[in-house]
Structure 1
Amino acid sequence: MRKSERAAFIMAKLDELYPEVPIPLDHRDSYTLLIAVLLSAQCTDKRVNQVTPALFDLAADPQTMIRQTPEAIREIIRPCGLSERKAQNIYDLSHILLAEHGGEVPASFEALEALPGVGHKTASVVMAQAFGVPAFPVDTHIQRLANRWKLTKSKSVGKTEKDLKKAFPEKHWNKLHLQIIFFGREYCPARGHDPALCPICSVVG
């Protein structure tokens, strides 16, 4: 099976299994989405969703967030791990949004990636899910599945992102990113995976 055939089958199967995909991180707007994605680094979406209600009740916009202390933020987000650094980043980026962007989350990869704690993957999620800009965020789960499905040979998320963008039509990138995440959780886990029972690996593996 050629890569183009694998990609077409994968896209059809994902559309069959996940015709609609919700954004897995609970949020209210682009700012709270940015904060939730930042917190999700080395942390599960489930844990982030358990933590953010209390954080957003405390502060759900940069104007309110800068009136908190990093220590107060850290106390709430502690279960997400790396809490000291994440709390400082949330505090600092909120100041920058107010000082440089009128308190709004910028709809620009360059501006987002210039914010503390915001790398390319986080920026890609925000651009895709908050602003509808075509992007293909690659995390460890998507990296794993892209290798399993022979859509890339790379272990680099940057190269994998490029390979996935070549494999799939641009208009489907934002939805596919989420579909692959949901599929990986349900059918294609990192451990205890039986390719013969997987709806995709059993065909393209």
Structure 2
Amino acid sequence: MQGVHFLLSLLVLGLASSFASAYDPSPLQDFCVAVKDSEIKSALFVNGKFCKDPKDVTANDFFFSGLDKPGNTSNRVGSNVTQLNVDKIPGLNTLGISLARIDYAPYGLNPPHTHPRGTEILVVVEGTLEVGFVTSNQQDGSNKLFTKILNKGDVFVFPVGLIHFQFNRGYTNAVAFAGLSSQNAGVITIANAVFDSDPRINPDVLTKAFQVDKNIIDYLQKQFWVDNNN
């Protein structure tokens, strides 16, 4: 199973690379390895990011180990997203691509969220998932849901910026890998952003927006909202 996981993740990376250059800057050289803030004094500034001096670059700047290990799904939503973006692999800087492993406990949910800077292509390697995304700005004013049941080996695409989700419908764990068309696609989990912002959004705003009693908004803003992204 471990070998299958890695083969499928490589497939995801290959597919995602075909649309990666549409959003992140095009590279001006072979690579532009990102550096930590503490190293900026000796860095070169290219493509909007500080780059490590090429003579100091090593193979480890393009390497990550441990994606075969399951993420901890013992949280309220029952899922864990292990992101491999430019923060985890500095060599991804300017390359316009990243990868994630998503683990789901039985009936675990990767809650409705968006990636403001990247399209996502997801492949299921274990279990059964219900997935979907919602359109925006339709001519008739509607928000159409595109949804599908995915089994092992199935692939689904979530267009950039649109709200989407994955839900494990089975009695066993599920695993998926996702490629994203950005070195740092970002993630906005809808419920967390709306009800757990700092400072809180004025309850009067949310009461009117959701057309519910203010007590419901007060209740939701007092909950402990889980971030399942690592």
Task: Please give the TM-score of this superposition, normalised by the length of structure 1.
Answer: 0.26
| Larger Rg, first or second structure (1 or 2) | 2
Structure with a larger share of its residues in helix = 1
Higher relative contact order (CA 8 A, sep 6+): 2
